[in-house]
Amino acid sequence: MNVVILAAGKGTRMKSDLPKVLHRVAGRPMIEHVVQRALELGASRTIVVVGHGAELVKSALAAYAVVYVDQLEQRGTGHAVMQALGAIAHAEPTLVLYGDVPLTSLATLRALVAAANTHTLPVLTVDMADAAKYGRIVRDASGQIARIVEFKDANAEELKISETNTGMMVLPALAPARWLPKLTPNNAQGELYLTDVVALARAEGMASLPVSAANEAEVEGVNSKVELARVERYFQAQQAHSLLEQGVEIADPARFDVRGTLVCGRDVSIDVNCVFEGKVSLGDGVRVGAGCVLKDVEVAAGAVLKPYTVADGEGKVIRIGAGAQVGPFARLRAGANLGVNSHIGNFVEVKNSRFGPGSKANHLAYVGDSVVGERVNIGAGVITANYDGAAKHTTTIEDDVHIGSNSVLVAPVTVGRGGTVGAGSTITKNTPPEQLTVARGKQVSLSDWQRPKKQA
């Protein structure tokens, strides 16, 4: 099967410099959702008709094996599909999709494709509460489609029809080359209407069958930011619904966003306003507090992410061990790997560092490029000074170490097993195991000192 995706339109009502089909739904350009559907349907060729912002559209789809054809002037949907005549395999049927209708379900499209054969032209239709400016489906006595009449060409009777054209249809093998050159712009908009193929099919004795979409939302096109926001919420509601059905507790499905994939174990709970990006997995019993933003993170069973934890693996997976506690207000960056039952508290940043089981940094610390052993306690205000202005260096903190508050560990440096670093120390050399190391000015008190007095 060929799939032709129409994406040449400008999208004036988006009031944006970005081509319409590149506006994002769930973090991905709308057209990418459509291209993925084509792949899921097993398209042998996917042809994207580009016009406005063609180069941007092509670069956004660089990862996909699709063919592009240009439509320099937007002279209607029929004209757009005509541009693909040189690119389709004519012995195969052609499914037409729109680049700005991102959420049609696989099941619905499969039903549309299943209705296609060499003597049938199936069209995806939907019943609308308010058919507004859509093309109306005029059925004949047998329930087949007699013709599709555009809103601007319709008479008062036709405007009462609630069944509308979604635009998606399957042109039978060999038909595009026969039909498309016959389209004429004899209509209110002076365009070449793809919808006129219905009359051409019937003139050849073919049937045009309506296939119904499951609901209005799945065939909703995006022409404005209002519609984009509505489509986004519909998509998120669907994702939330499917997780709720799997047993995930979501405090408010209307304040929940997955822009990627989220896999959850049993008894996971997610409070309001969390955003999941990239690939996130939450093990059994994980609790995610309000306002967490997680990207490329694996959270093991029983871990708790307190409110406003931000973790971004930047493509490298962040690992949070079983029973760990993170946040509130913690920041985990690429390469953070937190051991079982470790604690990362408020205003602590962890980058490219491994925290052993049971180790803690509870308040106001920066831990970067570090290897932290087991049962380590990192006090408030501790900083690993990992960067000398040219290169990054490693800080090693061995098992059972306590680092006193407000200490700076100047890397490369190792704090030996079981050692203690006194508060306020600046550690520039390795410290021996089991001992107290203090590196700060000694405290003195001057008994004969007088505070200066203001002159009268």
Number of residues that bind ligand UD1 (CB under 6 A): 27
68, 134, 179, 355: which one binds ligand UD1 (CB under 6 A): 134
Q: How far apart are the C-alpha atoms of 249 and 287, rounded to whole Å?
A: 9
Instruction: Cis check for the bond before 307: say yes or no (omega within 30 of 0).
Output: no
For ligand UD1, which stretch binds (CB under 6 A), given 158-166, 278-286, 298-306, 421-429? 158-166
What contacts 110, CB < 8 A, 6 or more positions away? 41
- Least separation in angstroms between residue 18's CB and ligand UD1 is 14
Nearer to ligand UD1, 129 or 456 (CB): 129
Q: How far apart are the C-alpha atoms of 220 and 360, rounded to whole Å?
A: 50
- Least separation in angstroms between residue 157's CB and ligand UD1 is 17
Nearer to ligand UD1, 86 or 432 (CB): 86
Residues 97-116 that bind ligand UD1 (CB under 6 A): 98-100
Rg (Cα) of the chain, in Å, rounded? Answer: 31
Q: How far apart are the C-alpha atoms of 385 and 397, rounded to whole Å?
A: 13
State yes or no: residue 370 binds ligand UD1 (CB under 6 A).
no
150, 163, 271, 349: which one binds ligand UD1 (CB under 6 A): 150
Per-residue mark of binding to ligand UD1, 35-74 (x: CB under 6 A): --------------x---------------------x--x
Residue 158 in tokens: 């036709």
Residues 269-328 that bind ligand UD1 (CB under 6 A): none
Residues 172-211 that bind ligand UD1 (CB under 6 A): 193-195
State yes or no: residue 339 binds ligand UD1 (CB under 6 A).
no
Residue 79 in tokens: 């004209």
- Least separation in angstroms between residue 156's CB and ligand UD1 is 18
Nearer to ligand UD1, 216 or 369 (CB): 216
State yes or no: residue 218 binds ligand UD1 (CB under 6 A).
no
Instruction: Cis check for the bond before 412: say yes or no (omega within 30 of 0).
Output: yes
Q: Measure CA 38 to chain center.
A: 19
Q: Measure CA 223 to chain center.
A: 20
23, 37, 45, 79: which one binds ligand UD1 (CB under 6 A): 79
Q: Is 188 buried (19+), middle (13-18) or exposed (0-12) by CB count in 10 A?
A: exposed
Q: How far apart are the C-alpha atoms of 54 and 267, rounded to whole Å?
A: 46
Q: How many CB atoms lie within 10 A of CB 435?
A: 12
Interface residues with ligand UD1 (CB under 6 A)? 6-9, 49, 71, 74-77, 79-80, 98-100, 134-135, 148, 150, 164-167, 193-195, 221
